[in-house]
């Protein structure tokens, strides 16, 4: 066809073959390292991603297994635990995000898909953050609560990698918290999207570690606690709900 431009051959773009190597060569390979006062943040561990009838079903059982491991480790080592949920109760909730992603209707009040995945429900003293946008920080008191607990490192797990995990990790960084994403405790609808986002997150936003690596970090940190220093306290000693309280209850 006259005037058409031929598509470039694949071998003309060697950088596309290995994003990680390209980022490293460009100097996009720094690390932050964990701090001394971590908290676990489970982002949207909702049934919408695990129930096949849900429009947001993502087949992320491996990530769910990783979340279970990290939640158990966080409780064992007595670090603060935060969980997010999405809830739409009123007309206009979700704003432009709800218009862009009609599947967010699964977050309507009373929807079974908005419930926590079994085994990942919040426990006593653990804080639930209700959000309406991808980032756990946007429009929520999360940053203030983390600061009040003297947290310096946010261990991030949940769903999904390309959306709420990426947005939350970026906002954690921008709020001055060290973000560490658990590679095998986050997931997405497609493995390729999950993998490419982890590469990009690691290059520009957060440290990316395995669940096993985070477990070792928490265990080593517990062993290194100075004598007489109390463990990181739970944020709340009591709650009106038998299991947890939300940030609205604290107002």
Query: Token pair of 44, please?
Result: 């949207």
CA–CA separation, 30 vs 160, rounded Å? Answer: 24
Give 171's contacts (C-beta < 8 A, 6+ positions apart): 135, 136, 137, 138
CB 48 within 8 A of CB 57: yes
Residue 160: asked if its preceding bond is cis (omega within 30°), the reply is yes
Residue in 164, 170, 183, 239 annotated catalytic: 164
User: Cβ distance 177 to 154 under 8 Å?
Assistant: yes
- What Rg, from alpha-carbon coordinates, does the chain have? 20
| Nearest residue to 139 via CA among 153, 129, 151, 149 | 129
Contacts of residue 135, Cβ cutoff 8 Å, sequence gap at least 6? 164, 167, 168, 170, 171
Q: What is the DSSP letter of 4?
A: P
Annotated catalytic residue 73? no
Catalytic residues: 164
């Amino acid at each position: 066809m006259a005037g058409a431009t031929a598509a470039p051959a694949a071998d003309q773009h060697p950088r596309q073959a290995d994003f990680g190597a390209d980022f490293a060569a460009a100097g996009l390979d720094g690390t932050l390292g964990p701090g001394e006062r971590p908290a676990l943040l489970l982002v949207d561990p909702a049934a919408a991603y695990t129930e096949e009838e849900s429009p947001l079903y993502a087949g992320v059982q491996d990530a769910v297994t990783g979340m279970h491991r990290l939640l158990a480790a966080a409780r064992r080592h007595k670090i603060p635990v935060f969980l997010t949920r999405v809830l739409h109760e009123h007309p206009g909730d979700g704003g432009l995000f709800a218009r862009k992603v009609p599947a967010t209707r699964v977050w309507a009040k009373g929807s079974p898909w908005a419930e926590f995945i079994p085994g990942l429900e919040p426990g006593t003293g653990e804080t639930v953050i209700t959000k309406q946008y991808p980032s756990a920080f946007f429009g929520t008191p999360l940053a203030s609560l983390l600061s009040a607990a003297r947290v310096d490192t946010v261990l991030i797990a949940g769903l999904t990698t390309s959306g709420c995990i990426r947005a939350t990790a970026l906002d954690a960084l921008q709020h001055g918290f060290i973000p560490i994403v658990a590679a095998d405790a986050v997931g997405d609808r497609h493995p390729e999207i999950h993998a490419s986002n982890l590469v990009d997150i690691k290059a520009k936003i957060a440290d990316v570690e395995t669940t096993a690596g985070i477990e070792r970090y928490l265990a080593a940190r517990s062993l290194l606690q100075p004598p007489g220093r109390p463990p990181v306290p739970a944020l709340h000693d009591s709650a009106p709900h038998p299991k947890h309280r939300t940030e609205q209850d604290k107002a």
